[in-house]
Amino acid sequence: MGEDKCSKCGADIPTDSKFCLNCGAKVVKETQQVKEPMHQVFRFVFSKNLIIAAILFGLLFIWLGIIISTFSTDLTGFRAAQTINSLGFFVTGVFLIGGGIANDGMEKYIRLGMIVIGVYMITMVLSLSPLVSSFGSLYT
Ligand SMILES: [Zn+2]
């Protein structure tokens, strides 16, 4: 906040003006030039379209897992369904978190919600896996 300094004459310039009022030099905004490449890669990986695609992909896997577990009669089918299901939850969770962090143009509470749901989904996958395998061993 406050005032910037002119790079040519050093005079104070109001934050939103494009030219120096003292010497007329063009004001170069530093914030637009300096951007860490890591942050840009991160933003590219978790761009809005990719997040939507990944979440749909994850939901498809969750749905597939439910379908397979409904029709599977043996443990192999049940485990396969569980693996697909967990993978779907994991992918969706990761991209919800990444998307919530990377898309700083979005509404603050939506981003926070995305991160919370993402963490919840991954926690669920991690806590469910040993439970499910012990549950599955009852049938063997
Ligand atoms: Zn100036």
Instruction: Summarize the confidence of residues 93-101 as an average pLDDT.
Output: 88
Residue with the two structure tokens 């498809």: 60
Instruction: Summarize the confidence of residues 64-72 as an average pLDDT.
Output: 85
Q: Closest Cα partner for 103 from 87, 93, 115?
A: 115
For the chain, domain boundaries: 1-33, 37-134
Is the overall model pTM greater than 0.95, yes or no?
A: no
Rounded CA-CA distance 114/5 in Å is: 39
Instruction: Summarize the confidence of residues 19-44 as an average pLDDT.
Output: 74
Q: What is the pLDDT of residue 47?
A: 81
Q: What is the pLDDT of residue 9?
A: 92
36 CA to middle of ligand 1, Å? Answer: 28
3 CA to middle of ligand 1, Å? Answer: 13
76-87 pLDDT, tens digit per residue, is 888 888 888 888
Q: What is the pLDDT of residue 1?
A: 46
